Structure 1
Amino acid sequence: MTKQVVFCDFDGPIVDVSERYYQTYRQGLQAIASIHTRATEKALPINPLSKHHFWQMKQNRIADIEIAIRSGIPANWFEPFIQQVQKIVNHPSLLLWDRLQPSAQAALCHLRQANMRLVLVTLRHPQQVNAFLQQRGLTHLVDAVYGIADTNAAYVNRVEQKCELLAKAIAQQTAKGYQTQDSWMLGDTEADVIAAQTMGLCSAALTCGVRSETYLQKLAPTAMHSEILLAAQAVTQTAKLQVASLS
């Protein structure tokens, strides 16, 4: 029987990026404070948010400029701050903060055991994705990776880029003979949900990533789950029911 494809984002569902984003934010604040002092000969009294407060704001999609201002960055220094953040967020020393989500390995194994084809569609650079998977012995559980060469794409998270990438992945997987008609897209942001809806896929929004349950509910995804393992189990159960209804 032709393998059913499951499309999935990388950051959020599989990787916990919260500490990397927080450390990037903290380093960005420190860098701008130093630049400000050199440029004006005046100290910049920055006031870093706690990780909990910072991540709560990110999950509710509070604008970066508001996060910066609440942290003591003057509005006219926001652009240098966000440029600094985007410059360093993918630095190898910060990528070390990325962690595997607690249920990710079990979820990937579950999909493999169910004979599903797992295709990652991510705005991360494919080399970063493959390096992370290889370091954790997970490469054999992922069938294909579609990524973006621009290392800043994941942080910016443009919906149109995700739509284009998902369209490419669907077209290529279909051309290879795999089943994509009843596929799901698992993801943690508006880019994932909207891309799935645009391409006519079912969308499973995960609340373990960079967007909150309250925010994701507004997007009306097909389903919502707190972690990737629950999503994987729901997807395979749905597939079994579909097969049973056809027999």
Structure 2
Amino acid sequence: MTGVVALNQSQAHPFDGRFTLRPTPNLTVFCDFDGPIIDVSDRYYNTYQLALADVQTAYQDKGAPLPLCLLSKTHFWQMKQDRVPDLEIALRSGLRQEQMDYFLQRVCSIVNQPALLHQDHLQPGVRWALELLHSQGVRLVLVTLRSQEQATEILQSYGLANLFTLIRGTQDDTVAYGNAAESKIQLLAEVLQEFPHWATEPAWMIGDTEADILAGQASNIPTIALTCGIRSQTYLEKFLPTRIHSELLSAAHYLVSQSLFASV
């Protein structure tokens, strides 16, 4: 695949002596939240389970029991990574066409419930990755379709909010699950309009979906696609990101190494 480099996961600590720590001024990394930083797989799978159970209960009350087939988390997440629509996931779980609207309604109402939001957790190596980039003088900018308030609170709870120059999200709790590319393109464009000098300096966009890749490309920013989130490598390759890495720490090591070589 032309122009794309896929790397395996790196488990090394960022301060393991492989890099001489030197400031890397004027490099901006725009980073997505869900996927690169936060693992949402447990929340999404539990949302699916609860919505399916609600549909089953509703139709049992009408005297029409449903012969459902609950997908395993592995199977469910593989389908999400291949961008299989929720309707198809519901059909493969045994729902009929007339039950789809209720299922989708339940998914949208359940996915952001506080009890499920607490199931999100940091991806492996994220703290090391962010600290490494910050230590090198990289300007970290969070650009997410998650609620800005939610993203800020979560980063503060992990003691990571202070590593970001800017945290920019939405004011709508329901936008993130849909992950519309046009919304991400607009959000990144708004950030660059507010801080135009960032558009003239070296920058990268890091994310785990086609929305992140398309947003970076629309703003002429090279992109790193991560396979640790909600899209598979096979799916991400279709959008021709500049590079593909397995997770944020691997991407951080690459960016730092490139900056150090460029400064020699």
TM score, norm. by length of structure 1? 0.93
| Higher RCO (CA 8 Å, separation ≥ 6 residues) | 2
Kept in 1: contact 2:140–2:163 (CA 8 A): yes
1:145 shift after superposition: 1.1
1:14-35 per-position Cα deviation (integer Å, ceiling 9, x unaligned): 0000011000100110111112
Residues 128-153 of structure 1: CA distance to partner in whole angstroms, max 9, x if unpaired? 10111111111111221111112111
Superposed displacement of residue 243, structure 1 = 4.3
Deviations 1:180-227 (A, max 9, x none): 532100000000001111110000000000000111111110000001
Contact 2:227 2:244 in 1 (8 A): yes
- The 5-angstrom pairing of residues 17-166 of structure 1 reads 17-38=40-61, 40-166=62-188
Counterparts of 1:166 and 1:235 in 2: how far apart (Å)?
A: 20
Q: Tell me the distance in 2 between the aligned counterparts of 1:115 and 1:163.
A: 26
SS in 2 for 1:118: strand
Measured against aligned partners, the alpha-carbon deviations of 1:25-62 in whole angstroms (never above 9, x if no partner) come to 00110111112223x22212221100000000000111
Q: Is the 8 A contact 2:203 2:221 kept in 1?
A: yes
Change (3 A) 1:36 1:27: same
- Correspondence 1:205 to 2:228: no
Within 5 Å, which residues of 2 pair with 1:165-176? 165-174=187-196
Alignment of 1:226-237 (within 5 A): 226-237=246-257
When the two structures are superposed, what TM-score results if normalisation uses the length of structure 2?
0.87
Residue-by-residue CA offset, 1:70-95 (whole Å, 9 max, x unaligned) = 11111121111011101110110000
Distance 2:59 2:167 in 1: 41
Q: Distance in 2 between matches of 1:85 and 1:116?
A: 38
Structure 1 residues 180 and 129: alpha-carbon distance in aligned structure 2, compared to 1, 3 A threshold: farther
Amino acid corresponding to residue 232 of structure 2 in structure 1: S
Say yes or no: does 1:220 pair with 2:243.
Answer: no
Displacement of 1:241 in angstroms is 4.0
Q: Mark the CA change 1:81 to 1:137 in structure 2 (over 3 Å): closer, same or farther.
A: same
Aligned residues: 241
* Counterpart check, 1:238 vs 2:261: no
Report the AA paired with residue 118 of structure 1.
L
Q: Answer yes or no: is the 8 Å Cα contact 1:4–1:179 preserved in 2.
A: no
The question of 1:194 aligning with 2:217 is answered: no
Q: Supply the distance in 2 between the matched residues of 1:173 and 1:102 (Cα, whole angstroms).
A: 31
Tell me what 1:181 maps to: 201
Contact 1:182–1:202 under 8 Å retained in 2:
no
List runs of 5+ in structure 2 lacking aligned partners.
1-23
Q: Which residue of 2 aligns with 1:5?
A: 28
Q: Distance in 1 between matches of 2:263 and 2:215?
A: 26
Instruction: Give 5+ residue unaligned stretches, structure 1.
Output: none
**Aligned AA (1:109):** E
2:178 alignment partner AA: V
Contact 2:192–2:199 (Cα < 8 Å) also in 1: no
Cα offset for 1:178?
4.5
RMSD value, Cα: 1.5
**Sequence identity (%):** 45
